[in-house]
């Protein structure tokens, strides 16, 4: 546990969990510790009034470890984001999952893995196998990249790439599509100078030495170079406006530029202390029948990116790596979010979420702030953070009623044992008092 503290400091919480806290060998070690406590109770016959403080110590540790086990296997943590003046009844998990939707055009089947923990120190594994309409699909991990990012490197005889930028929660994400390929980015299918074009594709091609584009729907844009708004017509080949901002499926997207003689590489960037939870990437090997393909998914704890799609063995397979949605049995409406700052400073001193809990038969109000937690139907809501533009709140959610209760009972017994050991006649402190007298 001491080593895990250093690992968490040097790497991240996920690595500490993967290597130690959630490792099977660590759980076996705790189980052996419980057996050792029980053995000591029997060996030293602690079931007597004279040895009550020592018995309480042993029982307290056993109960505490039992509560930790319930938390490990039954409890979970999540996050919920609510904009001011809006309600939300869906959380996203803290744990990572591989989520797969398989379809043959008429039937869909969902597959969600067990929680996945990735370590920056290695020893990672994803191995999923499931059947769909008598076809087996196997998914294995090829590579895990923490703090992942695509970069283009110069080369003499490289490829041509379309550079796109997507803005998400005030964060910039760069994507590079190689010429002759088709990729689905945030649910948007983009074909870059491919031989075939689907009806739903944004198709980009070169005609008369000019890059042209065709959009499946009328798409507005705003050119930052010309300071002018315009729109792309539906299903018509027109000049592509570079460095122009468009909203496609409610996603801000910019076709930045097209570059030549480059090679795309997935790299791990250096740690940035200002980014608490950087996005990672997993490269997966997908096999079904005689076909096999690779796909790279970005995600990680707290990330719920759109699905990426590939076509294999006559099946459409959608994949996502990261958080999964969790339904709440009630809705939470954010009436007001209040952010207070220190006088003469932009540093926040406190922030409050004025909430309205909406259920079928009743509605009640509650204000969450630091050290003022909402307990409702076994869920505990904590004020965690707020949106960058201060338009809403981010609450952390914990559902672990029995694990928390049993652990607190263990803590209480431990405190009681410590207290009794100070005054019990047969304790070490009691013997010292006798000697002093």
Model confidence at 156, in pLDDT bands (50, 70, 90)? Answer: confident
- The per-residue pLDDT for 169 is 62
Q: Which one is predicted more confidently, 245 or 429?
A: 245
What the block records as the tokens of 265 is 């590489």
Taking the C-alpha atoms of residue 349 and residue 372, their distance in angstroms, rounded to an integer, is 15
Residue with tokens 């938390």: 71
- The per-residue pLDDT for 177 is 94
Query: No. of H helices and E strands in the chain?
Result: 6, 27
Q: Which of 131, 126, 156, 155 is nearest to 143 (CA)?
A: 126
Q: DSSP state, 170? A: T
- The per-residue pLDDT for 434 is 67
% the chain with pLDDT above 90: 72
Contact 287, 222 (CB under 8 A): no
Contact 213, 204 (CB under 8 A): yes
- The per-residue pLDDT for 431 is 67
Tell me the three-class secondary structure of 209-258, residue by residue: CEEEEEECCCEEEEECCCCEEEEECECCCEECCCCEEEEECCEEEEEEEE
- The per-residue pLDDT for 227 is 86
Taking the C-alpha atoms of residue 309 and residue 184, their distance in angstroms, rounded to an integer, is 6
Q: What is the DSSP code string of 101-168?
A: EEESSS-EEEEEPSPB---TTS----EEEEEETTEEEEEEEEEEETTEEEEEEEEEEEEEEEEEEEEE
Taking the C-alpha atoms of residue 213 and residue 210, their distance in angstroms, rounded to an integer, is 10
- For the ranges 77-81, 92-96, 176-180, 246-250, the lowest mean pLDDT is seen at 246-250
Q: Which one is predicted more confidently, 187 or 20?
A: 20
Model confidence at 429, in pLDDT bands (50, 70, 90)? Answer: low
- The per-residue pLDDT for 48 is 86
Q: DSSP state, 50? A: G
Collapse the DSSP code of 146 into the 3-class scheme (helix H, G, I; strand E, B; otherwise coil) and give the result. coil
Q: Is the pLDDT of residue 398 over 70?
A: yes
The predicted-structure confidence for 325-358, as pLDDT tens digits, reads as follows: 999 999 999 999 999 989 888 888 889 999 999 9
Mean pLDDT of all residues in 239-258: 92
Taking the C-alpha atoms of residue 235 and residue 204, their distance in angstroms, rounded to an integer, is 12
- When the pLDDT of each residue in the chain is averaged and rounded to a whole number, the result is 91
The predicted-structure confidence for 23-50, as pLDDT tens digits, reads as follows: 999 999 999 999 999 999 999 999 988 8
Which residue ranges make up each domain of the chain? 2-75+401-436, 78-93+326-399, 97-324
Contact 413, 109 (CB under 8 A): no
Model confidence at 433, in pLDDT bands (50, 70, 90)? Answer: low
The predicted-structure confidence for 125-150, as pLDDT tens digits, reads as follows: 999 999 999 999 999 999 999 999 99
Q: Is the pLDDT of residue 56 over 90?
A: yes
């Amino acid at each position: 546990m001491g080593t895990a503290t250093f690992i968490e400091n040097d790497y991240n919480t996920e690595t500490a969990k993967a290597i130690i806290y959630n490792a099977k060998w660590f759980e076996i070690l705790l189980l052996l510790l419980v057996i050792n406590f029980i053995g000591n109770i029997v060996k030293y016959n602690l079931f007597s009034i004279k040895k009550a403080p020592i018995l309480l110590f042993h029982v307290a540790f056993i109960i505490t470890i039992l509560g930790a086990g319930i938390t490990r296997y039954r409890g979970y943590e999540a996050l919920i984001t609510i904009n001011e003046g809006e309600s939300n009844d869906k959380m996203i998990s803290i744990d990572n999952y591989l989520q797969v939707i398989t379809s043959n055009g008429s039937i869909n089947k969902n597959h969600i893995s067990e929680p996945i923990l990735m370590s920056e120190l290695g020893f990672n594994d994803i191995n999923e196998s499931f059947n769909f309409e008598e076809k087996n699909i196997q998914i294995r991990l090829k590579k895990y990249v923490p703090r992942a990012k695509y970069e283009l490197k110069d080369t003499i005889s490289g490829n041509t790439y379309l550079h796109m930028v997507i803005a998400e929660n005030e964060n910039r994400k760069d994507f590079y599509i190689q010429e002759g390929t088709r990729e689905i980015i945030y649910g948007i299918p983009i074909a870059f100078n491919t031989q075939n074009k689907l009806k739903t594709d944004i198709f980009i091609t070169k005609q008369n030495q000019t890059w042209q584009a065709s959009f499946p729907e009328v798409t507005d844009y705003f050119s930052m170079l010309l300071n002018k708004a315009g729109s792309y017509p539906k299903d018509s080949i027109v000049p592509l406006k570079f460095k122009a901002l468009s909203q496609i499926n409610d996603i801000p997207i910019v076709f930045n530029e097209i570059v030549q003689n480059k090679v795309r590489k997935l790299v791990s960037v250096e740690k940035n202390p200002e980014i608490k939870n950087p996005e990672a990437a997993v490269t997966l090997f997908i096999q079904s029948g005689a076909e096999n393909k690779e796909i790279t998914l970005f995600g990680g704890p707290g990330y719920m990116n759109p699905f990426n799609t590939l076509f294999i063995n006559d099946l459409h397979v959608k994949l996502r790596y990261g958080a999964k949605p969790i339904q709440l049995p009630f809705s939470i409406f954010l009436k007001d979010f209040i952010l207070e700052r220190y006088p003469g400073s932009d540093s926040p001193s406190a922030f409050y979420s004025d909430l309205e809990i909406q259920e079928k038969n009743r509605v009640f109000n509650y204000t969450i702030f630091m050290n003022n937690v909402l307990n409702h139907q076994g869920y505990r809501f904590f004020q965690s953070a707020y949106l960058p533009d201060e338009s809403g709140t981010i609450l952390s959610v914990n559902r672990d009623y029995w694990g928390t209760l049993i652990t607190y009972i263990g803590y209480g017994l431990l405190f009681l044992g410590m207290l009794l050991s100070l005054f019990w006649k047969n304790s070490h402190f009691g013997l010292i008092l006798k000697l002093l007298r």
